Structure 1
Amino acid sequence: MTLPERFHVASDHQLAREAAERLFASMQAQLVAILPATCEVLHIGATAVPGCLTKGDLDIVVRVEREDFAAAEAALAARFARNSGSIQTEAFAAFEDEACTPHLGIQLTVKGGELDIFHRFVAALRADPVLVSRYNALKIAHDGQSMDDYRAAKDAFVTNVLRLASSESRDER
């Protein structure tokens, strides 16, 4: 995938969210048909969070049991291009479809693996409107700026949100 050099938020977030939801419904049905039965297919990313600004793409995470990772990866690789800008491990792989409208990204993770975090980040945002406001402010501050700068700021934000969520869940025990 050729990443854009500049980060831009969508001009109409409601239309972007609606397009992503339609594509997710279609893709979810297609993915369930080709993946092992233990897979969980979730809509993640900004379009999955009410009120969150988006650049207008659709992100999906496919969560699998460790023993089903190879079969799920093979099924996805037969249907989608690998995201060459992403890492690949024994518990994580990323795919994309640039021909989809909106752009589609699929992350495959082993449940409980090191990168099995996407659904937790979305859950934290859905549970806390203040976090959504802070995330939106980050996006507005980086609109039109370098994609690398935006991604670095986003990674730091996500890491902090997950760290806080993890410490809060430990405190509740």
Structure 2
Amino acid sequence: MNDTDNPDFGLASGELRLVTVGPEWGSRFAAEHDRISIALDAAALDIRHIGSTAIPGILAKPILDIAVAIGSFEAGFPLVPLLVGLGYEYRGEHGIPRRHYFVHGSPRRTFHLHVLERHGDEWAHHLRFRDTLRGSPATAARYSALKRAVVAESGGNRAFYQSLKSSFIAEVHGLRAGA
């Protein structure tokens, strides 16, 4: 069975559930990293696994987040058809200025792709959050417990789920800024 047939990988529209992040997420990232790297060649200055599936042992939505660093926002426009050719759907900035956002997978969403300026705030934000949780098992455990509670409270509404997590994410960034 390949990963696209795996019922534990991806979410259908309107579905919200969590899985425990294990080593398979690193393998999924490595495979997708290679596909993206080949397609984008030198335009991809860096490709990183971000989001909760990059933090072993915590709970996460079973959608893998990837960040691709580029030199400038404008340099991302010629990359759109290349990523669409890999099966990604382009969503524009999708609420975050100077980000090219893509989704992949149907009927189950399997990847979120964030194409960001290498020297931009969003690139740094994603990497700092991931690295803080990787480096602090206690903080990662708190985040995992919060996510479990938030899934129950959100009633399956993904937008509400995201909004309920936002204060924790801001707190982690505050801890990091004060470190």
Q: Is the 8 A contact 2:69 2:118 kept in 1?
A: yes
Cross-structure match for 1:171: none
Work out whether residues 12 and 108 of structure 2, in 8 Å CA contact, stay in contact via their aligned partners in 1. Answer: no
Q: Which has the higher strand share?
A: 2
- In structure 1, what is the Cα distance between the partners aligned to 2:178 and 2:121? 17
Structure 1 residues 9, 27: CA separation in 2 closer, same or farther (over 3 Å shift)? Answer: same
When residues 105 and 166 of structure 1 are mapped into structure 2, their CA distance, relative to the original with a 3 A threshold, is same
Residue 16 (structure 2) aligned to one of 7, 13, 19: 7
Q: 1:155 offset after TM fit, Å?
A: 2.0
SS at match of 1:76: helix
Letter in 1 for 2:166: D
Show the counterpart of 2:79.
Answer: 72
Q: Give the equivalent residue in structure 1 for 2:33.
A: 28
1:43 corresponds in structure 2 to 49
TM-fit CA distance, 1:112: 2.3
Residue-by-residue CA offset, 1:65-109 (whole Å, 9 max, x unaligned):
1164333344324431024793263x2011011239771111111
Preserved CA contact (<8 Å) 2:104 2:110? yes
* Residues 70 and 115, structure 2, Cα contact 8 Å, conserved in 1: yes
The percent of aligned pairs where both chains have the same amino acid is 23
C-alpha separation in 1, matches of 2:35 and 2:47: 10
Q: 2:138 aligns with which of 111, 115, 130?
A: 130
Q: Paired residue for 1:155?
A: 166
Unaligned runs of 5+ in 1: 169-173
TM-score w.r.t. the length of structure 2 is 0.76
Question: Structure 1 69/166 Cα, relative in aligned 2: closer, same or farther at 3 Å?
Answer: farther
Counterpart Cα distance in 1 of 2:48 and 2:120: 16
Contact 2:101–2:112 (Cα < 8 Å) also in 1: yes
C-alpha change, 1:43 and 1:130, in structure 2 (3 Å) is: same
Kindly provide the CA deviation profile for residues 88-135 of structure 1, in whole angstroms up to 9, marking residues without a partner as x: 63x201101123977111111101223222121101100111110110
- The whole-number CA distance in structure 1 between the counterparts of 2:172 and 2:26 is 24
CA 1:99/1:128 → structure 2, altered by over 3 Å: closer, same or farther? same
Q: CA separation in 1, counterparts of 2:118 and 2:18?
A: 31
1:111 equivalent in structure 2: 118
| Runs of 5+ consecutive residues of structure 2 not aligned to the other structure | 1-10
Q: Is the 8 A contact 1:52 1:136 kept in 2?
A: yes
Give CA-to-partner distance per residue, 1:118-163, whole Å, 9 cap, x none.
1211011001111101101111112232323321122222122123
Scaled by the length of structure 1, the TM-score of the pair is 0.78
Does the 8 Å CA contact 2:45/2:69 hold for their aligned counterparts?
Answer: yes
